[in-house]
Amino acid sequence: MAALDCATAVILAGGLGTRLRPVVGENPKVLASVRNRPFLAYLLEQIAQANIRHAVLCIGYRGDQVRSVLGDTYAGIRLVYSQESSPLGTAGALRLAMPLLQSDPILVMNGDSLCEADFQAFGAWHLTRTADATLLLTQVPDTRRFGRVQVDEEGRVLAFEEKDGRNTPGWINAGVYLISRRLIQAIPASGAVSLEREVFPARVGRGLYGYRSQGRFLDIGTPDAYAMAEQFFAAKTQA
């Protein structure tokens, strides 16, 4: 059996998408159209290619639209929904979904980015470490929008470097994680909490790893980045 065959995948799909509203209107950003399909469909197909058959969608803003578009199954994946009544942040939304999570570890994905990677290889690497969480990292030529992640030769995360305006290459957080149940259970059950700003920085030196991938990366969080999505997936089709 492959590393993630029985895993639960979680997609964090509750963001307001404020920066994208000039181009996608009032729709949730995970439903932003790319080549006449919602962006979320590409994430679900990536999960399906990894032989994962159970996914939880953490929805918030206009979550009913996400349910209406995706339904209960997609690409052979059974979909269940965790609806937040107020914004909880990425960690808070994950903690809210805890009763729906059926595996250990959990594959967690941001709903507004995609990184081409072998998820089964990612899972196998994670399982060889005593990791509470492993971040999928990707190398980009310009880290100004993202900040950087420093890791040692063994993949242990050493530091998160904040956005500093420097146009330099480096390893960034690609928005895909493998997280242990015990770490999710330790997230406060009320209030807004961020994985990126609070949970992960607090775990540096305490079982937090980074898996370096060479896959292409796309983040649709801004209008300029979203404008690149058509070309990104067109190139994938032609490859």
**163: annotated active-site residue:** yes
Residue 132 located in a structural domain: yes
Is 173 inside a domain boundary? yes
Active-site entry in 21, 144, 163, 166: 163
In this model, does residue 110 exceed pLDDT 60? yes
CA 34 to chain centre: 18
Average pLDDT for residues 70-89, to the nearest whole number? 96
Confirm whether 149 is domain-assigned: yes
Q: What is the mean pLDDT of residues 93-114?
A: 96
Total domains, the chain:
1
Quick check: is 1 in a domain? Answer: no
pLDDT of residue 130: 85
Q: What pLDDT, on a 0 to 100 scale, did the predictor assign at position 25?
A: 73
pLDDT band at 116 (very low <50, low <70, confident <90, very high): very high
- Give the residue with greater pLDDT, 239 vs 63: 63
Is 2 among the domain residues? no
Domain of residue 172, CATH code: 3.90.550.10
Q: Is the pLDDT reported for residue 125 higher than 80?
A: yes
pLDDT at position 168:
87
Looking at the domain assignment, is residue 105 inside a domain? yes
- Please check whether residue 3 lies inside any domain of the structure: no
Work out the mean pLDDT of the chain and round it to a whole number.
92
Q: Is residue 192 part of a domain?
A: yes
The whole-model pTM stands at 0.95
Domain that holds residue 89: 8-238
